[in-house]
Amino acid sequence: MLVLANPGHGLEKMQASAAIYLGMQLLLPGEWAPSHRHTPNAVRMIVEGEGAYTTVDGEKCPMSRGDLILTPTGLWHEHGHDGNEPVVWLDVLDLPLVYYMEASYHIDGERQQVDPGRGDCAWTRAGVVPTPVFQRSDKRYPLLRYPWADTRAALLSLAADQPEQECVQVTYVNPETGDDAENILGFYALMLKPGQTLRLPVRSPAVVFHQIEGRSEARIAESTFALREADTCCAPGYTEVTLKNLSADQPSFIFMADESPLHRKLGVFENRG
């Protein structure tokens, strides 16, 4: 595990922003991380490799590059690897906030029994949800794995359907309620068209950028960062951010995480345009 810590917050605090913790985790073939649960919400953005999985609340979620897997507060989860190559993922947690509230704890548990069925198969089309015998799901988190293949296809479809739209972006949401996928941090996928430069609005929450595919440049205030695949950076709140696709003929795909849900709940969210 490598923690991506912002020295401005103090390296000993191990945080990227006031409410966001980032870490790169490596799982080797044959390794298994025992079942556990904790109060901080977490997601895994898969960076590279195949063959690993996370079992969350009895659902086995395979890992492929670009997949987003939720491990929300209180849900049992464990990691395993049946493949033959190393797998790396980016952990994004609201740990700094939960730790500051003195509400952070971790409990180890027994190995989970895998249940049949997968959320990414049941909730696979926009506008329709499973209703066996007219019953809607009562799960707080019905969809735990958001496959990158589906998200990528959605971005390409959106770009083709609305070519005049400057910003091609989607939000990861709960398919039953339309709410943010988790309750403290927000998660998004952005596509920059070939050669595109996009100025983001100045907003109150900090934002994490992780390059899934392609090459980009991120100008954050007066600093400029070149992003290659698997690179990650974080912009503080109230900061001007401009993104540029460095390829003239290929799209650039970026995963983003921010503190918007938290800011809205606290009544401090601002969008200054």
Same fold, 2-126 and 147-266: yes
d(CA 254, CA 208): 10
Three-point CA angle 86, 92, 96, nearest 5°? 135
pLDDT for the residue numbered 122: 61
pLDDT for the residue numbered 134: 80
d(CA 163, CA 12): 46
Secondary structure (3-state) at 114 = coil
pLDDT for the residue numbered 237: 98
Residue 199: count other Cβ atoms within 10 Å of its Cβ: 14
pLDDT for the residue numbered 75: 96
Give how far Cα 55 sits from Cα of 22, 68, 165, 241, Å. 21, 13, 38, 36
pLDDT for the residue numbered 126: 74
Over the stretch 122-157, which tens digit does the pLDDT of each residue have?
A: 667 777 887 887 888 788 999 999 999 999 999 999
Domain segments of the chain as ranges: 2-126, 147-266
- Class of 2-126 in CATH: mainly beta
pLDDT for the residue numbered 116: 78
With a CB cutoff of 8 Å and minimum separation 6, the contacts of 135 are: none
CA atoms 177, 190, 92, 186: torsion sign: negative
CB 223 within 8 A of CB 201: no
pLDDT for the residue numbered 164: 85
Residue whose tokens read 């103090």: 10
Range 147-266 classified under CATH 1.10.10.10? no
pLDDT for the residue numbered 112: 86
Over the stretch 101-121, which tens digit does the pLDDT of each residue have?
A: 999 999 998 888 888 777 676
Point out the residues of the chain with pLDDT beneath 70: 119, 121-123
